Amino acid sequence: MGNLKLKGKDILKLGYPNNQSVNVALEVMKRNFATKNIHYVKSLLKEILIHPENFEKDLTFGQIAETLLSSKKTEKRMLNSQRAAFQVFGNNISDEAKNQLYTALKLPISTQGALMPDAHSGYGLPIGGVLAVENAVIPYGVGMDIGCRMSLSILDTPVSYLNGARDKYEKALAEHTKFGMYETHKSHIDHEIFDRDTFDLIPILRRLKGKAIKQMGSSGGGNHFVEFGEVEITEEDEQIGLPKGKYLGILSHSGSRGMGAEIAQYYSRVAVEQCPLPKEAQQFAWLDLSTHLGLEYWTAMNLAGDYASACHDDIHRRLVKAVGGRVKARIENHHNFAWKETHNGKEVIVHRKGATPANENELGMIPGSMTAKGFIVRGKGNPESLNSASHGAGRAHSRGECRSLFTEHDIKKELKLKNVTLMGGNTEEAPMAYKDIHEVMNAQSELVDILGTFQPRIVRMDR
């Protein structure tokens, strides 16, 4: 690869003002046109200088155009003295998690917030935190694992096969699922997502495309899992289209892998530079959606969300091919994302960090733990929760606490009691690490209706 020999003085000679626009132009051109002829690069820069308004929405040159059109200094943003309106659902929530939401509610862009009954403290917005803001997106409000989601496939296979042919299902999970940072599948199918020009329009995505292709169809570490289990439909719903009864199901929990993590890290760092805030609120630095960087992150976030969905499709495809049967219904939802929605008659950006979208009649999946039931739900569209619900049972103990509180023996005892086979996993994800899912569900009866359950039987996690 060539190295573009472009200097700041070359850009000044073109007529650029002696301010931040020179540094931005230098960085953008070196990042995108390292192999190009310097005369070609200068002609592009000249064109942007003459008509910056023509390049404002361009994903490659928008940042240069924006700096030329705006000479505003980066001023420190202050927090409001009053919190925006909010609602807390459930009682068993730590003060630390509440205080994290309270700080977010004082941002000058915040309009409303909510805390779900599975909430616990996180980095920036608490896990189980929901925050609506005006015309901005907070990278740490979305979280590190962009598009982390649940996906449930309900098969036409008799549920008795889980006991009768347990070895077959264990073998399928052992051979056809990959976990953590280093495990990847040997072969990949072409997926339309890799044909999208978004990968070529944003430099960080161009760099991450190879990693995304390699990690396709794999799952993360920590609390991510793929499992076979018993689905019970207790209420008929035309969207699911299945009669009441028991079915064999595949449930997966994972996100956008290394690609999402690197997008989150990069834009969180950029947001902090663009949007200085008081120390206690620094992690809530936002990107204005009217700016090039805001648009860039929004585009990258949506691609990462679609990639996470594609990974789940691939996981389920591989397993169905291995064990047979046909998919009769599919229920899935993101729970780390930001959406454009209308609340109180106004368009806002709703961040759900570890929260399930629960718009009226929207289906979702809320898992319990490796031994506890999860729930198939239908949203009620409750405005006080910003049409949201919990994303799981929520942690009762931190990962550090789990290491000192629980042993492998404790986990084995619990697994045997509940007739669950575990492949991988560790004490950090012990069933006892989580809140009681039934208490969590009781605390959100105003947010969702329960349509069915999923009882894990064979669980695969990272080791």
Amino acid identity for residue 335 in this structure = H
Which pairs with CB-CB distance under 8 Å and at least 24 residues apart come from 318-323? 318/176, 318/177, 318/185, 318/217, 319/172, 319/173, 319/176, 319/177, 319/226, 319/250, 320/153, 320/155, 320/250, 322/171, 322/172, 322/175, 322/176, 323/157, 323/168, 323/169, 323/172
User: Look-up: residue for tokens 């998919």?
Assistant: 327
Does the annotation list 379 as a binding residue?
Answer: no
For residue 72, count CB atoms less than 10 angstroms from its CB and return exposed for 0-12, middle for 13-18, buried for 19 or more.
exposed
How many angstroms separate the CA atoms of 169 and 146, rounded?
A: 29
Task: Tell me the C-alpha distance between 274 and 293, whole Å.
Answer: 9
367 is in an annotated binding site: yes
141 assigned binding-site residue: no
Ligand-binding annotation for 241, yes or no, is no
Does the annotation list 95 as a binding residue?
Answer: no
Residue 145 labelled as part of a binding site: yes
Catalytic residues: 391
Element (DSSP H or E) covering residue 211:
helix 203-215
List, as one string, the DSSP characters of 246-271. EEEEEEEEE--HHHHHHHHHHHHHHH
Cα–Cα dist 354/346, whole Å:
24
Residue 224 annotated in ligand binding: yes
Q: Mapping DSSP to helix (H, G, I), strand (E, B) and coil, where does residue 350 land?
A: strand
Residue 78: HSE in the Cβ half-sphere, 13 Å Cα cutoff: 3
**Is 392 among the annotated ligand-binding positions?**
yes
Tell whether residue 312 is among the known ligand binding residues.
no
**Which of these, 135, 115, 149, lies nearest to 340 by C-alpha position?**
135
Nearest CA to 322 among 186, 171, 217? 171
Q: What is the enclosing helix (H) or strand (E) of 133?
A: strand 127-133
CA atoms of 78 and 412, how far apart (whole Å): 51
Spatial CB neighbours of 282, under 8 Å, sequence gap ≥ 6: 272
- Residue type at position 345: G
* 335 assigned to a ligand binding site: yes
Establish whether 176 is an annotated binding residue.
Answer: no
First to last CA, the chain: 39
Is residue 334 annotated as involved in ligand binding?
no
**Stretch (H or E) spanning 51:** none
Pairing of strands 85-88, 110-120: parallel
Residue 391 annotated as binding site: yes
Q: What is the dihedral sign for C-alpha 178, 182, 188, 192?
A: positive
343 is in an annotated binding site: no
CA 92 from chain center: how many Å? 24
Would the annotation count 253 as a binding residue? Answer: yes
Instruction: Show binding-site residues for GMP.
Output: 223-227, 335-336, 367-370, 391-394
Instruction: Show binding-site residues for Mn(2+).
Output: 145, 224, 253, 335
Instruction: Show binding-site residues.
Output: 145, 223-227, 253, 335-336, 367-370, 391-394
